[in-house]
Amino acid sequence: MVPTITLNNGVTIPQFGFGVFQIDRGDAVGAITSALDAGYRHIDTAQMYGNEADVGTAIAQSGIPRDEIFVTTKLNNDRHGHDDAIKALDESLDLLGLDHVDLFLIHWPRPRQDRYVETWTAFEQLQREGKARAIGVSNFQVPHLQRLAAETSTVPAVNQIELHPYFPQAELRAYHRENAIATEAWSPIGQGGGLLAEPTLQTLASKYGRTPAQIVLRWHVQLGNIVFPKSVTPSRIKENIDVFDFELEPADVAAVDALDSGTRLGPDPDDFG
């Protein structure tokens, strides 16, 4: 039931996936297996997470054909530069046990290091060679994207950014729409906690007979964001993906929009790394 989004190079990506950030190696294979059993076909990992081998193991053990699972990984912050980025993806493919990934992302721009344009040229090469079906970025701001547009020939297929009702990033999402860049949301439910306790979300959860997390995830889906919540609990993994048999009314989408407080929970991309 999960819809797909067509990226700017024609590759299709499931709009809803499973994130493995901060899942310990001892739990990763089981959690990914639960996700695949629940119908997830999009797995989002990163070199930084240290669990690419577990992703590969879970995929191999699943018996699901490779072309039915969309796999994303991301470049580690210490691997910027043309040659190092090329080697880094080869290392990821070895860990994953795959001959290609579906999407490869620059994890953080690291603008003070000022190598992300050089790194992007390596990504373009990796896409030409078929080692990555699509290439994109993560945590890039509008000036970073504008520089890639000015100095290279490939528009990122996606930009994966912190995005939740407290921090909806309207300006950046508008730039994405204008330039055919798909928006992916990390920390989609704002790391739980205070956001899910918001009275607005509690009221909407009661109205629709859903959990506050499901209300937020459905809000993302209706905005057109690609989203991949993380959990290690099988019941929660199933619950998270169960958002395709109801729809928020426009006024309720606006009510979630109104929770915008400009609160960033993660690092500032202009400084991080």
Catalytic residue positions? 49
Secondary structure of 5-65 in the HEC alphabet?
EECCCCCEEECECEECCCCCHHHHHHHHHHHHHHCCCEEECCHHHCCHHHHHHHHHHHCCC
User: Are the C-beta atoms of 72 and 184 separated by less than 8 Å?
Assistant: no
Sheet strand arrangement including 42-44 = 18-19, 42-44, 70-75, 101-106, 132-138, 158-162, 182-186, 226-227
Report the C-alpha gap between 249 and 214 in whole angstroms.
Answer: 14
Burial group, residue 3, by CB count within 10 angstroms (0-12, 13-18, 19+): exposed
DSSP 8-state class, residue 113: T
Distances (CA, A) of 154 to 76, 127, 185, 224: 21, 10, 22, 22
β-bridge mates for residue 162, sequence order: 186
User: Are the C-beta atoms of 17 and 227 separated by less than 8 Å?
Assistant: yes
